[in-house]
Structure 1
Amino acid sequence: MTETLQLYSYWRSSAAYRVRIGLNLKGLAHSIVPVHLLRDGGEQHSEAYRAFNPQELVPTLCHGQRRLGQSLAILEYLDEFWPEPPLLPANARARHRARALAQLVACDVHPLNNLRVLQYFEHEWNVPQPERDEWVRHWIVEGFRAAETMLADHPSTGIFCEGDVPGLADCCLVPQVYNARRFGVDMAAYPTIERIEAACLALPAFDAARPERQPDAPAPS
């Protein structure tokens, strides 16, 4: 009997967005369990959710009795448990490049702009909203400046970040572009990133993972 997959997710979480894309690329049936990161002080801080994820973060992927945290670790778990279609290339050099591009987003840009960082600025240091937004934009621009250079005219860049098959790096890049637009980053400076994003979003796996398509997304106003 196939073990079920449940993804504890928040519609606008970029980390959960990465995993939604990965599950879709693998063609893995799964259910979404919404965790509202703002309601009642954040449902991720509830005792019930803490039992699933001691870090009080999303995503958490439940595979049968296994509870898996950290989006990049989850994506690599999916690739090891269900090898086809792969999220990582076949050779070591290409795998390194894909991981480096993924970690540029997931380890260098995203942690500085995470909700808990922005809430700390707001509640502990009383940093006004415009300054918090400028902080977010600054670190996205720093990261995208490097990513654009790493992608533009590189012989390994194809339709997607690494070659012509979407994979780990694309799972991370697309959600970060969503965040960039949300905070008003001018994407005109990053034509390669925009081209790759468009190619990704044309695929059903990426399209279905969009924040606005999630069951917990607010209705359009």
Structure 2
Amino acid sequence: MKLHSFFNSSTSFRVRIALALKGLSYEYAAVNLRSGEQGREDYRSLSPAGIVPTLVDGDVKLTQSMAIIDYLDQKYPEPRLIPDAGIERARVLEIAQTIACEIHPINNLRVLKYLTGTLGVDEAAKSAWYRHWVAEGLSAVEALLTALPPGAFCVGDEPTLADCCLVPQVANAMRMSCDLSGFPRVEAVYARCMAHPAFIAAAPQNQPDFVS
């Protein structure tokens, strides 16, 4: 199994967490988003959208983090990251999709580059954009978590897809100096996750292509 990844990509981080939780070994293939390697013709043959991550598992090739984690959950079901059925499954997907669909897409690196490069937005305005959408999204996540029974992780006492999505988003928010003081439940889950060996192993600073 090979994972095409970038250390600071939150979507790659999601998949690395899932792989680590499942104890799956893989070859790490670095794709430098900062230097534009995702746009190379050879990489585009793997990922037509020119994005990371891309997982190659034998004859299977997948390019979207949520699809990759669902595939891993079907092929390697222990531990289960997406519950099989019922309200618990819906809650996990609700939180994961709030992050993956509502926060991440409009704060993606290529969106931020378009703001500053093509539209001429200055750094202060770009940061304000980023922090606004993080605050909007994490407010929703905080409300969803608060409405659930107390647990060590997002949904219950074991990590799920929701945690795979939450941790990279919070890590990015911290890197961008977002104010997280209004999200105590989010911060508590993040802290518990980052004490877990799988989340530590998947963290950006522990990847072979990490640069400070």
Larger mean CA deviation between 42-51 and 186-195 belongs to 186-195
CA distance in 2, matches of 1:150, 1:60: 30
Which residue of the partner structure matches residue 25 of structure 1? 21
SS in 1 for 2:2: strand
TM-score after normalising by structure 2: 0.97
Question: Which one of the candidate residues 5, 9, 17 is aligned to 1:9?
Answer: 5
| Percent identity of equivalent pairs | 47
Name the amino acid aligned to 1:86: R
SS in 2 for 1:169: helix
SS in 2 for 1:188: coil
TM-score after normalising by structure 1: 0.94
Name the amino acid aligned to 1:148: E
CA distance in 1, matches of 2:194, 2:85: 26
Q: In the alignment, is residue 163 of structure 1 matched against residue 156 of structure 2? A: yes
Q: In the alignment, is residue 91 of structure 1 matched against residue 92 of structure 2? A: no
Give how far 1:25 is off: 0.5
CA distance in 2, matches of 1:74, 1:200: 21
Note if contact 2:148-2:155 (Cα within 8 Å) is conserved in structure 1: no
Which residue of the partner structure matches residue 56 of structure 2? 62
Deviations 1:62-94 (A, max 9, x none): 101221110011000000011111002243211
Give how far 1:124 is off: 1.0
Q: Which runs of 5+ in 1 are unaligned?
A: none
Deviations 1:114-154 (A, max 9, x none): 01111111121111111111111100000011111111252
Q: Which runs of 5+ in 2 are unaligned?
A: none
Name the amino acid aligned to 1:194: E
CA distance in 2, matches of 1:129, 1:135: 10
- Stretches (4+) displaced over 3 A: none
CA distance in 1, matches of 2:75, 2:52: 21
Q: In the alignment, is residue 49 of structure 1 matched against residue 43 of structure 2? A: yes
Larger mean CA deviation between 164-173 and 91-100 belongs to 91-100
CA distance in 1, matches of 2:188, 2:120: 38
Give how far 1:187 is off: 1.4
Deviations 1:85-111 (A, max 9, x none): 100224321101100100001111000
CA distance in 1, matches of 2:196, 2:41: 38
CA distance in 2, matches of 1:190, 1:32: 33
CA distance in 2, matches of 1:88, 1:14: 19
Name the amino acid aligned to 1:91: A
Name the amino acid aligned to 1:83: P
CA distance in 2, matches of 1:47, 1:68: 17
Question: Which one of the candidate residues 89, 93, 100 is aligned to 2:94?
Answer: 100
Show the 5 A alignment for 1:1-221: 5-39=1-35, 42-155=36-149, 157-218=150-211, 220=212
Note if contact 2:32-2:38 (Cα within 8 Å) is conserved in structure 1: yes
Name the amino acid aligned to 1:211: P
- Quote the RMSD (CA, aligned, Å): 1.0
Total equivalences in the alignment:
212
